[in-house]
A and B are shown apart, each in its own frame.
Chain A
Amino acid sequence: MKRLRVFASRLLGLFRKRRLDENLDAELRAHLQLLTDENIRRGMSPAEARHAAQREFGGVEQTKEACRDQRGVLLIDSLIQDLRFALRILSKSPAFTTVAILTLALGIGATTAVFSVVDRILFRSLPYSHDERLVAFGLTAPIEKEEFMLGASYIDFRKSPGPFEEVTSMMPGDAKCDITEESPVRLWCAHVEYTFLSTLAVQPVLGRNFTPEEDRPNGPRVAVISFALWKSRFGGDPGVLRKTISLDGKATRVVGVLPANFEMPTLTPTDMLVPEALDEEQQRRSAPGAVLRTFGRMKPGASVAEAIVGLQPFLEQSLQGAPAEFRKEIHLSVSTIRDRQVRDARLASWILLGSVFAVLLVACTNVASLQLARATGRQRELAVRAALGASRGRLVRQALVESTLLSLLGGAAGCWVAHLLLRLFVSIAPQGIPRLQQASVDLRVVGFTLAISMVSAMVFGLASALSNPSPGSLIGKEVRTTMRTVLRQTLVAAQIAVSLVLLACAGLLLRSLWNLQRAPTGMDTEKVVTATISLADYRYTGLPQQIAFFSQLQARLKALPGVTALAISDTLPPAGQMRSTILAAVEAEGHAPMAQGTGGSVAWRAVTPGYFSSLAIPILRGRSFDEQDSLPSENPIILSETLARELFGNEDPVGRRLRLFRQPAPWRIIVGVARDVRNNGMVASSDPEFYLPWKNDPVESLSTGQVILRTRMDPSVVAAWMRSESSALDPTLPIKSETMTERVGKLAERPRFNAMLLTLFACMGVALVAIGIYGVVAFLVAQQTREIGVRMALGASPRSVLRMVLWNVTRWAIAGAALGLLGAWFCTRLLQSLLFEVRVHDPMLLVFALVLLLGVTVLAAWIPARRAMRVDPMIALRYE
């Protein structure tokens, strides 16, 4: 406390310097005056009295100095001096300062921008307290890769959840729901257990959570609404808690409002939580029961391994009820909420962060080598300062203050660069990068920027700070320490190594992207327009209405000019969101059903007869669907090539029959075999597939349809027509139309994003290397002018001088490149899972990167080196 007070008064002393000085002067003057008065009273003459007083008092200036020391914070005082000096030095060489600040701004800016994106993915805590203890747990299976539990076993498990403090569950999938009163609107409702919010440790900002009574089958209908919905639909009125809304036609009471920062652990957009109302009796009767997403909060100190052990009996229980072939392929899994959310974004995040740090490293070494080169020129100044009594520590501090100032300026500019880059990222980023929209340059990110600025200042500042001024430079003698030359060359080598690794990685991703975009999809996507139409349940209450809408739409679209084929299906390739079953559930007549395993998943779609001609998927055998097939009495099926081969080998499947979904009937007749189409996105391997006619099947709801239209016209014009035809039928209908080419293009968005960023960073790295080498060689040439002059006077040709200078740099560049090759060999392996049909170690690519980088190096060195050729020996020798 006391120390704080002293410090505060000292700190204040810094700012009120002049007034305090005057005060002290007055006080000391008064003292001397009083002493003099006294001496006069004793009988001295005034002059004698003054002298005696001064003698008695001692040194006035020393006293003042001692008081000033006592008053001020010495360190800060001299720091301000250093700072002022650094500013003067930096403004004296504007070219160096500009290049250094720009370099740092690029490096720090890029790092900050990437950090602000990946921080949300990798580091920043989730909006739940103790989120490290929150996990998704349960089973995973080949067709269900996210953790789930089956109803009956979950009901048993939640009674004594072992290592979990609390567990909860929700229904999987997107649950659409509609507010069906005035101004109806489609919303996303999550069906959750009443323990959901308490497990996540989330408190409603208004009202309350569900009660267990409300979470029963046929219980009172209640809802907890999202903050956004509360604001947008209810104007943030607290009276909403007394409101009853009509949800899917049923009166539902609003009991609570979620916090503004609430998000589902699954990250699905959610407007409302409604009770899951799990029917225990029914789940037991229909064991194993429904698929539930299960989450839990582990007890403090409990480990994932313990959780797995606790779950083991329930795995057994689930498997008893499950089909036999599932058993082998089902595993227990417990993953933290963060892992579940970012799964495939994690690796890409780390790679981007790593590469941007590499750019920062190159930027720092750049500034370091520039500073080193400058330090050589400043030797004399430093020697003078040392001779005048500056301590070694003071000189080091001066150098560090200078570099800190530089990097803070660079950091400030970097914040601005980061802001721009972030806007760029968001605009080119694909869907599905978790939390990208929230990324911004906020306080935490600025703090990070500040930290990396300081660290980089240390990194490049120390290099020059450690150069010891030698007395020789006082008399103008040039002292070239080998140590410094080696350091500078090492920096060049390091830069080149890092840039080579960056280039190699970027090259791999670009190559993979190239392959991805040229990968055949199995269909012709040119001149095809698609539209996704989703009918709201409250307007199209049953199948007849849905069918009526789609057939009207079909009739209208057929009449459009230039339409060559038209079809409706439930889902569209090549994105992998189709319906699927398992191979074991497909039973061909005359073949024994599969005894073991699931056989993997099999995709299927419901399509109208025009499907194959619209997408130009060739029918290899038999025929396509026709209008007859849509009749309820007909049960035709078309198989993909792969599925036909898996089921029938080399036999001709057309005319054979098979049963689906383990149902005893109907037997379906295979009418045709279609060529394989990519159906799991562009990267993952495709599943075998079959097609059923889109028809009046009472089991299926037809609320969502994909309209596919092949045209001779410009697809974007046709897309606009489609929208207007659809809104002529129902103006409230949301319709998303895009060309098939756009749709396929979107699948490569994520790899494109990664490749673009990495390429951007690699280019930055190469540009920085070029700047760095240019600067270093320019300084070297300026420094060696005398040596070059001597050589030329002794008969060296300009060409050989050029060769000498270039060789000097290239030697180290080659050493760096060798190191870089080694690094690239290891680093590219990390990219493995991001690559598509590219070998990790692609020698051609490495050679290309190497040639590019060395080319840039030689070019950057050649421009300043030419100056060495033009050195006039006479002038150079007279230089001193």
Chain B
Amino acid sequence: MTPQRGEVLQGTLDLIVLKTLDAMGPLHGYGIAQRIQQVSEDLLKLNQGTLYPALLRLEQRGWISSKWGVSDNNRKAKYYSLTRSGRKQLTSEAANWERMAAVIARLLAAEGV
């Protein structure tokens, strides 16, 4: 049975993008999409187009910045990188997420008994 591909949870896409940029350094939109799919081992169903409004939103908040550059295979592409406040945001978001995940795990464990 193939594992069911999950929808990206509302609000988690931001965290995912931030973490990806943190881990990989400056990347273009395509690269980010590839990386997310690679890491999630295709468990996440990501419509690559939905990435762009999220990128715009993050940029408007000042968490990432963008610059035009040239890709490995000589294509012009827009590269995104994490800003200082983006890194701070990532730390706090990640902590939040872990706390939340822990709470949910505990809840589920209690239920299971």
Chain A interface residues toward B at CB < 8 A: 2, 5-6, 9-10, 23-24, 26-28, 30-31, 33-35, 37-38, 56-60, 62-63, 66-67, 69-71
Contact = CB atoms under 8 A, between A and B. Distances in A.
A692 B45 CA distance: 112
B53 A30 contact: no
A70 B77 contact: no
Contacts of A9: 59-60
B78 A30 contact: yes
Interface string B73-87: 101111000000000
25 contacts: A9-B60, A27-B29, A28-B52, A30-B28, A30-B30, A30-B78, A31-B28, A31-B30, A31-B48, A34-B28, A34-B73, A34-B77, A37-B75, A56-B48, A57-B48, A60-B49, A63-B49, A63-B50, A63-B52, A66-B50, A66-B52, A66-B53, A67-B56, A70-B53, A70-B56
Given A70-B53, A71-B56, A33 B75 contact: yes
Contacts of A60: 49
A27 B50 contact: no
A57 B78 contact: no
B87 to A, nearest CB: 16
Interface string B37-78: 000000000011110110011011110000000010101111
Nearest to A53: B48
Interface residues of B, number: 23
Q: Which of B29, B49, B57, B75 has the most CB of A within 10 A?
A: B49
A35 B60 contact: no
Contacts of B57: 70
A33 B73 CA distance: 11
Contacts of B73: 34, 37
A205 to B, nearest CB: 47
A58 B48 contact: yes
Contacts of B52: 24, 27-28, 63, 66-67
A27 B56 contact: no
B25 to A, nearest CB: 17
A5 B30 contact: no
B30 A34 contact: yes
B29 to A, nearest CB: 5
Contacts of B75: 30, 33-34, 37
Contacts of B48: 31, 35, 56-58
Given A59-B49, A71-B56, A35 B62 contact: no
Q: Which of B28, B50, B52, B57 has the most CB of A within 10 A?
A: B52
B61 A27 contact: no
- Summarize B's interface: helix, strand, loop or mixed: helix
Nearest to B66: A27
B70 to A, nearest CB: 10
Nearest to A12: B60
A58 B50 contact: yes
Interface string B94-109: 0000000000000000
B56 A35 contact: no
Interface string B5-46: 000000000000000000000001110011000000000000
A58 B77 contact: no
Contact of A27 (B33, B60, B71, B78): B78
Contact of B71 (A6, A34, A59): A34
A66 B56 CA distance: 10
A57 B56 CA distance: 17
B62 A5 contact: yes
Contacts of B60: 5-6, 9-10, 70
B61 A5 contact: yes
Given A23-B78, A34-B30, 20 more contacts: A2-B61, A6-B60, A9-B59, A28-B49, A30-B78, A34-B71, A34-B75, A34-B77, A35-B48, A56-B48, A57-B48, A58-B49, A59-B49, A66-B49, A66-B50, A66-B52, A66-B53, A69-B53, A70-B53, A70-B60
B29 A31 contact: yes
Nearest to B78: A27
Given A34-B71, A67-B56, A62 B49 contact: yes
A3 to B, nearest CB: 9
Q: Which of A28, A30, A35 has the most CB of B within 10 A?
A: A30
A27 B62 contact: no
B103 to A, nearest CB: 26
Complex A-B, nearest 5 residue pairs according to Cβ-Cβ distance, in ascending order: A63-B49, A58-B49, A58-B47, A34-B30, A66-B53
A354 B88 CA distance: 60
Q: Which of A23, A27, A60 has the most CB of B within 10 A?
A: A27
A553 B62 CA distance: 89
A33 B70 CA distance: 13
A35 B49 contact: no
Nearest to A9: B60
Nearest to A26: B76
A575 B31 CA distance: 94
Contacts of B28: 30-31, 34
Nearest to B85: A2
Contacts of A33: 75
B56 A30 contact: no
A34 B29 CA distance: 10
A340 B24 CA distance: 78
B69 to A, nearest CB: 10
Contacts of B59: 9
Nearest to A27: B78
Contacts of B56: 67, 70-71
Contacts of B47: 57-58
Contact of A6 (B34, B49, B61, B78): B61
Nearest to A71: B56
B49 A30 contact: no
Contact of A30 (B34, B50, B76): B76
Contacts of A6: 60-61
A120 to B, nearest CB: 48
Nearest to B63: A2
A8 B34 CA distance: 32
A71 B28 CA distance: 19
A97 to B, nearest CB: 40
Contact of A35 (B30, B61, B76): B30
Nearest to A64: B52
A568 B28 CA distance: 101
A63 B53 contact: yes
B26 to A, nearest CB: 15
Nearest to A33: B75
A26 B34 CA distance: 19
Nearest to B57: A70
Nearest to A10: B60
A24 B68 CA distance: 12
A2 B52 CA distance: 20
A33 B30 CA distance: 9
